[in-house]
Amino acid sequence: MSISSPSLTIRPAQAFDVTAIFGMIHELAVFEKLEHMMIATEPMLHDSLFGEHPACEALVGTEDGVVVTFALFFHNFSTFLCRKGLYLEDLYVKQAARGKGYGKQMLAALAQLAVERDCGRFEWSVLDWNENAINFYKGMGADVMPDWRICRVTGDALMQLSKNAQ
């Protein structure tokens, strides 16, 4: 898959894109005020994308050959649909490249990929304080699910919960 517009080329990420993607992940963590939670490293990201058992995939968008946006995603599954879905973990556009429609183009490319892969849905999460993103997503036809909340278990709590299985 490679999609080009006059100023943006969207393509699957390659191993040499890891440094650029990792830099944008850090920028995203700062923007979301979650930098303190970021423990990822470039080698970890490389392994997650291109290792023996990849956990995710990524698209990048380039402007004049420079990576200015990325979308990291993976497949999930809906028991109600009995079909896989495409889950967008993160989408980021560098500050200098914003306002050019690149976010919309990336979402459209992911939607196209979901359709090509016969996914039953395409979904992602958004922080409740990010009104700009919420309005942007609604404008693209996304439903913001008000009755659903993300549940997460990490660190010590994850270790403790795992002991209940023994």
Give per-residue pLDDT as tens, 52-67.
999 999 999 999 999 9
Strands of the 57-63 sheet, one edge to the other: 3-4, 9-12, 57-63, 66-78, 83-93, 122-124
Q: Is the pLDDT of residue 75 over 60?
A: yes
First-to-last C-alpha distance (Å) of the chain:
45
pTM of full prediction above 0.85: yes
Distance CA 76, CA 122 (A): 9
Q: Decide: 99 and 132 in contact? Cβ < 8 Å.
A: no
Q: Is the dihedral of CA 147, 29, 37, 39 positive or negative?
A: positive
Domain 3-163 sits in CATH 2.70.98.60: no
Residue spans of the domains in the chain: they are 3-163
46 to each of 62, 90, 125, 156, how far by Cα in Å?
19, 16, 23, 26
3-class state of residue 79 by DSSP = coil
The pLDDT tens digits of the residues spanning 90-114 come to: 999 999 999 999 999 999 999 999 9
pLDDT of residue 127: 87
Which positions ≥6 away from 153 have C-beta within 8 Å?
161
